[in-house]
Amino acid sequence: MVVSINHPQSSLADFYREMGDIFNLELKAHNRWGGFRSLRERWLSHLQSTRRRPILLIDEAQEMSAGVLNELRLMASARFDSQPLLCVVLAGDTRLTDKLRRDELLPLGSRIRSRLATEKATVDDLLACLDHLLASAGAPQLMTPPLRHTLCEHALGNYRVLTTLANDLLATAAQRELTELDEKLYFEVFAPSTPSSRRTTVRQPNGAR
């Protein structure tokens, strides 16, 4: 059982509503104890019948309030914290790491068993991604090899930046009805704009023609 939170910015009441929705339970926001108990019973029943814990994925977890994070910590284990009922995966940027250092969230941070801090993607990683996207689109020869390397070198180690650059090139190529994208197109699209030359007025001395 793998589910995900789609609105990490929710208040505590809306958090319970979403948890009831994704776990197919009718929870009443005003009865927090009832929702707390129903969710734990559902997770415990799943664990006993399958020997596996449900998995809750939360993207953009840095957007979650401290109150919601602590509520999740309390409901996700039983028997005085000795029996985990739910596997929670928190995904976020560096703001999540900073948030977990707050005093009110130290108990949660101490319970995180594994942490994976991703670094910038290498040029080879970006190139493999770009090749995969082109092949999946049915156009593996759309970009010349030099252009692929240029894109990956200027993507700042970020997959999103890479696809944004490639999309801008593709849009221009479509307008021009080009069948192949090369470095020439890259420099035409992303060349830095140069300020227009200013006109200078030369004053002539009095009486000069």
Query: At 79, which helix (H) or strand (E)?
Result: none
Q: What is the pLDDT of residue 202?
A: 45
The pLDDT value given to residue 18: 93
Q: What is the pLDDT of residues 150-194, one digit of tens each?
A: 999 999 999 999 999 999 999 999 999 999 999 999 999 988 765
Contact criterion met (CB below 8 Å) for 134 and 100? no
Of residues 74 and 202, the one with the higher pLDDT is 74
Strand order of the β-sheet with 2-5 is 2-5, 55-58, 87-90
Q: Where are the domains of the chain?
A: 2-109, 123-190
Instruction: Calculate ∠ Cα 80-110-51, nearest 5°.
Output: 55
In this predicted structure, the answer to whether residue 206 has a pLDDT above a threshold of 70 is no
Share of the chain above pLDDT 70, in %: 92
Query: Residue type at 115?
Result: R
Confidence of residue 94 (pLDDT cuts 50, 70, 90): confident
Per-residue pLDDT reduced to its tens digit, 117-161: 888 899 999 999 999 999 999 999 999 999 999 999 999 999 999
pLDDT of 13-23, one tens digit each? Answer: 999 999 999 99
Specify the pLDDT at position 118: 84
Which pLDDT belongs to residue 129?
95
What pLDDT is stored for residue 209 in this prediction? 43
Encode pLDDT of 55-77 as tens digits. Answer: 999 999 999 999 999 999 999 99
- The domain over range 123-190 is classified in CATH as 1.10.8: yes
Q: In sequence order, what are the beta bridge partners of 143?
A: 181
Q: What is the mean pLDDT of residues 87-113?
A: 92
60, amino acid identity? E
List the structure tokens of 141.
């020869």
